[in-house]
Structure 1
Amino acid sequence: MEDIKNGKYERAKKQVENEKGWYTHLFVYIVVNICLQLFYFGFFDDGRITGYMPWWVHFTTPFFWGIGLLGHWLKVFKKVRSLKFYKEWEARKIKEFMEEEEEGFMNNIRKENK
């Protein structure tokens, strides 16, 4: 019974750590992107450098980082683990390599016995 409680406690603690990590990620995302937008709009350099940037540059960092943030959120809150097919593929490849190695070993033994 004590092991079950310890297991639950460890899982709950891990989940809280994961959620704290996501909220930290979100905070950094917001702060950095606010600073970037201020920079892009010439707040820091009066537009001397950023005046030559195309309009789409303003959106690239928030967009692509936002995709990463969404993936992090899915992993933490929706319990999305690594894809099942990836684990199955990995197991198949390990088995395949082991069989190839064993086959090569058996072929070497056969050659030595001839």
Structure 2
Amino acid sequence: MEDFSKENKYLRAKDRVERLKKFYGNLTSYVLVISALAVINYLTNEWRYMWFLWAAFGWGIGIIFHAIGTFNLNPFFGRDWEERKIKELMREDDEIKRWE
């Protein structure tokens, strides 16, 4: 049973690291691409119309939602909530079986 617990913890930690890598990769891409777009914007019209902000805003919304998912910032339906709900339902199921 202890080996199963260790393996389960390892798999959860591995999944967490994978989600973090994806988020930081996305964030790095965002910074590099938006910076490049800002430079192109400046060189073409010297900030008369800052069109790169549209891309920064749109992609930024995606980054925010990615961060919410990665760092469990959603208090209502995050990963912790899922685990608590699963345990609660398993306890209820055990109680029902005891009374049958």
Bin for the TM-score computed over the shorter chain? 0.5 to 0.7
Q: CA RMSD in A?
A: 2.5
Larger Rg: 1
Q: 1:55 aligns with which of 49, 58, 69?
A: 49
| Structure 2 Cα separation of the partners of residues 21 and 77 of structure 1 | 12
Output aligned runs, 1:24-103, within 5 Å.
Answer: 24-42=25-43, 47=44, 51=45, 55-78=49-72, 80=74
Q: CA deviation at 1:4?
A: 1.0
TM-score (norm 1): 0.58
Report the counterpart of residue 7 of structure 2 in structure 1: 6
| Structure 2 Cα separation of the partners of residues 20 and 79 of structure 1 | 17
- What percentage of aligned pairs have identical amino acids? 28
Aligned partners of 2:41 and 2:50 also within 8 Å? no
Aligned partners of 2:26 and 2:63 also within 8 Å? yes
TM-score (norm 2): 0.66
Structure 2 SS opposite 1:78: coil
In structure 1, runs of 5+ residues without a counterpart are 85-114
Deviations 1:15-47 (A, max 9, x none): 0110011111110000000000000111xxxx2
Deviations 1:73-113 (A, max 9, x none): 00000264xx69xxxxxxxxxxxxxxxxxxxxxxxxxxxxx
Q: CA deviation at 1:55?
A: 2.0
Report the counterpart of residue 99 of structure 1 in structure 2: none
Q: CA deviation at 1:58?
A: 2.6
